Amino acid sequence: KNQVEQSPQSLIILEGKNCTLQCNYTVSPFSNLRWYKQDTGRGPVSLTIMTFSENTKSNGRYTATLDADTKQSSLHITASQLSDSASYICVVPRAGNMLTFGGGTRLMVKP
């Protein structure tokens, strides 16, 4: 069954601290994995797309990793800011031009 599981469901950290969000998937065949950031009440915004051959990709303070063998991805946020408070969603395409969405991790950064 094609699934995308994210952990933790929610996370609270202090401003300036680092954190890592996890994504495990069982979607097959695999082509790429995407991380989106969704601020409350707004649409998701793409952070990064990782293809099968990429292990690490950075976008500012965001670094995504991918292990296609273990079917795991992580999103690491460095030196968190209050504006990082949002839901982070892991998405994996599957056959038929469909997307499988993870349930998201809700991150709250406190001052």
Q: Does the protein bind other proteins through residue 21 (CB under 8 A)?
A: no
Which CB sits closer to other proteins, 82 or 98? 98
Listed in sequence order, the residues at least 6 apart from 57 whose beta carbon sits closer than 8 Å to its beta carbon are 48, 50, 63, 64
Which CB sits closer to other proteins, 77 or 92? 92
Q: Does the protein bind other proteins through residue 96 (CB under 8 A)?
A: yes
Which CB sits closer to other proteins, 91 or 109? 91
Which CB sits closer to other proteins, 15 or 63? 63
Number of residues that bind other proteins (CB under 8 A): 22
Residue identified by tokens 């031009």 is 97
Q: Does the protein bind other proteins through residue 97 (CB under 8 A)?
A: yes
Closest Cα to residue 3, out of 72, 74, 102? 102
Listed in sequence order, the residues at least 6 apart from 16 whose beta carbon sits closer than 8 Å to its beta carbon are 79, 80
Sheet with 56-59, edge to edge strand ranges = 4-7, 19-25, 72-77, 62-67, 56-59
Binding site for other proteins (CB under 8 A): 31-32, 34, 36, 41-46, 49, 51, 89, 93, 96-99, 101-104
